[in-house]
Amino acid sequence: MTETAAAEPFVLDNSYARLPSEFHARAMPTAVAAARLIRVNRPLAVQLGLDAQALESPAGLDILAGNRVPKGAEPLAMAYAGHQFGNFSPVLGDGRAVLLGEIIDRNGARRDIQLKGAGRTPFSSRGDGRAALGPVIREYVVSEGMAGLGIPTTRALAMVATGEPVLRMRAEPGGVLTRVAASHVRVGTFEYFYRQGNNEAVRALADYVIDRHYPHVADADNPYHALLEEVAARTADLIAQWLLVGFIHGVMNTDNVSIAGETIDYGPCAFMDNYKPATVYSSIDRGGRYAYNQQPGIGQWNLARFAECLLPLLDDDEEKAIAQAQAVLERYIERFENTYHDGLAAKIGLQERREGDTELAYDLLKCMAEQGADFTLTFRHLADLGQASDSRDDGVRALFDDPAAFDGWAARWRQRLAEETRDDAARRVAMRAVNPAYIPRNHRIQQAIDAAEDGDYQPLEALLAVVARPFEDHPELADYARPPAPEEVVQRTFCGT
């Protein structure tokens, strides 16, 4: 594996490599014998200012598979710690990922380029550092689905099949994902140094994050307090957006919480079908710590761990520092509720907020939970209803075990709509813009994975086509909006490590 002076599909820098050596460990990707390109994300390549055709070339495949290091790359594994299901692990780090470096995209933003599943690193412990093809496909599909929904997320630039098996619960085909992120710095990165008592490293990391992600806070009276405020606000908005589309992250450990406010680390994640607030998909979350309805509170808990790391930077007086942090954590809840409630009002077509609107939305959710209604389709079909009950009601009514339960709520909803100045046509357009017809449904992802493992990528391509434009109607792929039949339901997902 060598660098070359020949034309490169892309040229990288690595600002993180310029931090002190305790922040990372040098780690070269491990070459694979029979790499095969599955897919390059051409629209993302354009956003990054890259030549997709070059990425699809043999030279591009070599880089995407980890067989060759591009010009300017300084491959490394990032050091971090983390609270995993509430228990602190002092050393985690990138055990199966290698950060190649960064690229400046068309908007002038610095974006990480990371190979996930690229082989062992100094943080691999007893792991093989590889990824199975199934989790690679899941992350590609779900992260692109989130991008299509307009929710901040890491992205997938490419998928490569390694041609080598990995041993998990069974032997599975291996894969490498090229992940693009605003940053791979996590709450757990700060914890790694704070728990060692290395406050100078915490300060250096905070300065790096401010310079790269939040330069506008550098001139604040207390930049570190302003940093905490920014991260808390982005986290509140992000989790509210998850709930508004029925998304369950699955493993909200502090090492899976991005300082940049992006959804990161798609392991045992899924979108709900029937609305059940206590839904858990992760095979290892037996206590429901990261259930759908627990995510806002867990977000605050994770931010509290971040705030602890910043206490020495907030104020020399510990009591004052704690008071500052607590005030930010309280505002997190207010920010989350405002974003979530505004989103719910938009989902049910209310533009002019009035007292009782939030309760009206919550009553619909309660009815959906009691009646086994599909989360995504309930809101999507609701957009098509008019001011008066007619045949258009049939689609949404059929989603409820007892359609009369929906009728009772719909009568109240229509009464509230009559108070709006916006007409039905404008309301429908607005509702369809926030209520997707398509999500990356768990059973469809599994079908795409099963087919891909047999060499058939057509189901994957069809799924990607609809989740990339989830608010549009795709008549030829309308079946991809359908909830799973009982025999298709996927109850559990796995992290794939």
Exposure string for 431-453, b = 16+ CB within 10 A, e = fewer: bbebbbbbbbbbbbbbbbbeebe
Q: Is residue 106 part of a domain?
A: yes
Q: Is residue 208 part of a domain?
A: yes
CA distance 33 to 163: 7
- Tell me the average pLDDT across 314-329: 98
What pTM did the predictor assign? Answer: 0.96
Q: Is residue 10 part of a domain?
A: no
Q: Is residue 458 part of a domain?
A: yes
Residue keyed to tokens 């389709």:
377
Let me know whether 310 and 452 are in one domain. Answer: no
Return the structure tokens found at 57: 């070339």
Question: H helices within 214-317, ranges in order?
Answer: 223-244, 295-314
Q: In whole numbers, what is the pLDDT of the chain averaged over residues?
A: 95
Give the pLDDT of residue 492.
63
Q: Are strands 270-271 and 171-181 parallel, antiparallel or unpaired?
A: unpaired
Distances (CA, A) of 147 to 111, 272, 297, 324, 374: 15, 18, 24, 34, 22
Q: Is residue 9 part of a domain?
A: no
Q: How confident is the model at residue 389 (pLDDT cuts 50, 70, 90)?
A: confident
Q: Is residue 158 part of a domain?
A: yes
Q: If 0-12 CB within 10 Å is exposed, 13-18 middle and 19+ buried, where does residue 21 land?
A: exposed
Let me know whether 171 and 193 are in one domain. Answer: no
Let me know whether 331 and 384 are in one domain. Answer: no
Let me know whether 209 and 134 are in one domain. Answer: no
Return the structure tokens found at 395: 């689609």
Catalytic residue among 255, 265, 285, 374: 255
Based on the structure, what is the number of domains in the chain? 4
Q: Is residue 11 part of a domain?
A: no
**Which of residues 115, 150, 184 is at a domain's end?**
184
Give the pLDDT of residue 7.
59
CA distance 395 to 325: 48
Give the pLDDT of residue 1.
44
- Tell me the average pLDDT across 367-390: 94
- Tell me the average pLDDT across 409-428: 95
Q: How confident is the model at residue 3 (pLDDT cuts 50, 70, 90)?
A: very low
Let me know whether 77 and 180 are in one domain. Answer: yes
pLDDT at 9 over 90: no
Let me know whether 322 and 206 are in one domain. Answer: yes
Let me know whether 172 and 30 are in one domain. Answer: yes
Distance spanning both ends of the chain, measured CA to CA: 25
Let me know whether 354 and 242 are in one domain. Answer: no
pLDDT at 92 over 90: yes
Q: Is residue 313 part of a domain?
A: yes
Q: What percent of the chain has pLDDT over 70?
A: 97
**Range of the structural domain that residue 472 is part of:** 442-488
CA distance 71 to 107: 22
**Which of residues 346, 371, 399 is at a domain's end?**
346
pLDDT at 497 over 50: no
Let me know whether 284 and 329 are in one domain. Answer: yes
pLDDT at 451 over 70: yes
Let me know whether 146 and 235 are in one domain. Answer: no
Amino acid at 103: I
**Which of residues 305, 323, 346 is at a domain's end?**
346
Verify whether residue 315 is a known catalytic residue: no
Q: How confident is the model at residue 494 (pLDDT cuts 50, 70, 90)?
A: low
